């Protein structure tokens, strides 16, 4: 068992919520797991939020992170999309708070800048860099890569590891 700090990164979304778990120790970060939570598209909106909430609680129980990092809300061109993203974030924040974990929020632009080197990076660039930084055998799904990126930023900001 490592004495490092375990960080859960979350990329919230009402259709797909990404998560990534890393462990920082010394100057290194180690990939633990990543994935996506996909509620059934045929489910009601409230049922999708309920599914995200319970799946995040399961991820937290399984991996027992010490801290959580989440992307902060950005404003989409479509007000309905912004509202739905905010509701998915709220459900994620509720799960983290209920688990009693410290939560840290980072802007999407800062996450991209930290991992790729500029704030206008594409999802493909974030996928590539998270795979490279964490020495993954394969590129993670877009939303999982975004979650890993927010976890990496948190680790770097708090000097849990360098990337």
The pLDDT value given to residue 82: 83
The pLDDT value given to residue 115: 93
Q: Which domain holds residue 130?
A: 5-157
Cα distance between residue 145 and residue 18, in whole Å:
8
Cβ contact 150:105 at 8 Å: no
Asked, for residue 100, whether it belongs to a domain, the answer is: yes
Asked, for residue 84, whether it belongs to a domain, the answer is: yes
Asked, for residue 163, whether it belongs to a domain, the answer is: no
Cα distance between residue 134 and residue 15, in whole Å:
26
For the chain, the domain total comes to 1
The pLDDT value given to residue 3: 66
Which value, in Å, is the radius of gyration of the alpha carbons in the chain?
Answer: 15
Cα distance between residue 18 and residue 79, in whole Å:
22
The pLDDT value given to residue 163: 57
CATH number of the domain at 92, please. 3.30.420.10
pTM as predicted: 0.93
Which phi and psi angles does 26 have, rounded to 5°?
A: 60, -125
Q: What are the residue ranges in the chain where pLDDT is below 50? A: 1
Would you please indicate which residues are annotated as catalytic (active-site) residues?
11, 71, 143
């Amino acid at each position: 068992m490592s004495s490092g700090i375990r960080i859960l990164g979350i990329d919230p979304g009402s259709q797909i919520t990404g998560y990534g778990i890393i462990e920082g120790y010394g100057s290194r970060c180690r990939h633990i797991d990543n994935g996506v939570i996909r509620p059934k598209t045929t489910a009601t909106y409230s049922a999708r939020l309920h599914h995200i909430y319970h799946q995040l609680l399961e991820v937290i129980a399984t991996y027992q992170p010490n801290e959580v990092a989440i992307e902060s809300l950005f404003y989409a061109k479509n007000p309905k999309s912004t509202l739905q993203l905010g509701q998915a974030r709220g459900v994620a924040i509720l799960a983290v708070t209920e688990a009693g974990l410290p939560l840290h929020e980072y802007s999407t632009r800062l996450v991209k800048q930290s991992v790729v080197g500029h704030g206008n990076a594409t999802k493909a660039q974030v996928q590539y860099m998270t795979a490279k930084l964490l020495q993954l055998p394969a590129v993670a799904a877009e939303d999982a890569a975004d979650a890993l990126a927010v976890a990496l930023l948190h680790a770097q900001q708090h000097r849990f590891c360098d990337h």
